[in-house]
């Protein structure tokens, strides 16, 4: 693999993980109690569970896109906010987190492909990774803020401090 591809892979992986910008995307939900994941502080439109499910929806959509499978976007934004506001149990929350992390890991593996500059439709695979990375980063910031509002920050893995 040449040096240019090495740089592209590092950039894509950092965009997906939040590395060097904020707490790792996969770590933003570490140690969060399932009842807190379903709470919505006053004036906040979505719970952390809803944010996690929304990020997962688009990550899984991007994986289909990457793999050449049909990846039809919903007609309206509301279609990308699956599920209810609050998990019914710890098990339901744990499964939502598992799916979220699994999708992030799978996208991380796609970032190592040699064809990042090849197009699929109107954009390159690298552009798709950038879009999904910035989307995830945006919502991870919301998760962090909501955890702070609820006194559930930082996660056991720590926040970003230096």
The class that CATH gives domain 3-149 is mainly alpha
Global pTM exceeds 0.85: yes
pLDDT band at 5 (very low <50, low <70, confident <90, very high): low
Encode pLDDT of 95-110 as tens digits.
Answer: 999 999 999 999 999 9
Distance CA 159, CA 145 (A): 12
Report, as an integer, the average pLDDT of 112-134: 90
Q: Which residues have CB under 8 Å from 92's CB, separation 6+? A: 34
Report, as an integer, the average pLDDT of 7-34: 80
Question: Cα dist. 56→3, 4, 19 in Å?
Answer: 31, 30, 18
């Amino acid at each position: 693999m040449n040096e240019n591809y090495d740089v592209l892979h590092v950039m894509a992986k950092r965009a997906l993980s939040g590395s060097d910008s904020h707490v790792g995307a996969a770590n933003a939900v570490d140690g969060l109690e399932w009842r807190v994941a379903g709470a919505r502080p006053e004036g906040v439109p979505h719970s952390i569970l809803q944010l996690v499910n929304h990020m997962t929806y688009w990550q899984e959509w991007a994986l289909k896109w990457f793999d050449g499978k049909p990846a039809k976007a919903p007609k309206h934004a509301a279609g990308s906010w699956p599920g209810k506001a609050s998990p019914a149990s710890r098990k339901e929350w744990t499964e939502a987190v598992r799916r979220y992390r699994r999708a992030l890991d799978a996208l991380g593996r796609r970032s190592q492909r040699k064809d990042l500059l090849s197009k699929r439709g109107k954009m390159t695979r690298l552009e798709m990774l950038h879009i999904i990375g910035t989307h995830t980063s945006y919502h991870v910031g919301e998760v962090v803020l909501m955890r702070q509002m609820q006194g559930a920050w930082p996660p056991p893995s720590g926040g970003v401090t230096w």
